[in-house]
Structure 1
């Protein structure tokens, strides 16, 4: 019976222990190692560039032509450094030689690279 009471006291003492979780391991890691781990995590979060086939490129071209003729707003989806960026605005000009598009929204005008575009949606 005394042994059982001693075991119960021991279990109660274990409940008082506070574990610091991963904090205790961070102190043992070198700054260079932490940097590499963070870079690896950031790299895993990136989205791969979508592969566009001929059909996708034709649809993008048609939507650009329609938007320029109608002078309507478009939503352009671009891919840069592993992330998608959305732009909304109207076309000002398209330069196929330099492969650039200039657009304007209500606040400013901006230039996009044709090679970065992965989708164009005409907003009516």
Structure 2
């Protein structure tokens, strides 16, 4: 009976360290979310949603792209920092500074949700 240690163990002995580093990076990148380039139409819609939420003091849900992953933030918009190109979002425990470049989607949160 032949005891096989698996393909990865057999072939890694013949690889250069640089190849192993590149393979590990490639495996990590497989789990990254790709940032979408937004169209002018989508940017306009996001801007209008943010303005409506700010004027009406409504909760907003922002889908952000950060560290190669998408995640959602919910809160009230308290203002903007045009010099730093950031949005000030009052979340439950703190005020978060969100870069305009991170925003991928914006929607108003219904009170019934």
2:69 to 83, 86, 92: 83
Q: Going by fraction, where is helix more abundant, 1 or 2?
A: 1
Uncovered stretches (5+) of structure 1, i.e. residues with no partner: 1-15
- Asked if 1:110 corresponds to 2:99, the answer is no
Whole-angstrom CA distance in 1 between matches of 2:104 and 2:33: 13
1:35 to 10, 15, 21: 21
**Larger deviation, residues 41-50 vs 67-76:** 41-50
- CA deviation after TM superposition for structure 1 residue 111, in Å: 0.3
Whole-angstrom CA distance in 2 between matches of 1:36 and 1:119: 33
Q: For this pair of structures, how many residues does the alignment match?
A: 109
2:4 to 16, 19, 27: 19
Name 1:52's counterpart in structure 2: 38
Name 1:100's counterpart in structure 2: 86
Whole-angstrom CA distance in 1 between matches of 2:94 and 2:59: 14
Tell me the C-alpha RMSD between the 2 structures.
Answer: 1.8
Whole-angstrom CA distance in 2 between matches of 1:107 and 1:28: 52
Name 1:65's counterpart in structure 2: 51
- CA deviation after TM superposition for structure 1 residue 27, in Å: 3.4
Whole-angstrom CA distance in 2 between matches of 1:81 and 1:66: 28
Uncovered stretches (5+) of structure 2, i.e. residues with no partner: none
- CA deviation after TM superposition for structure 1 residue 81, in Å: 4.2
TM-score by length of 2: 0.81
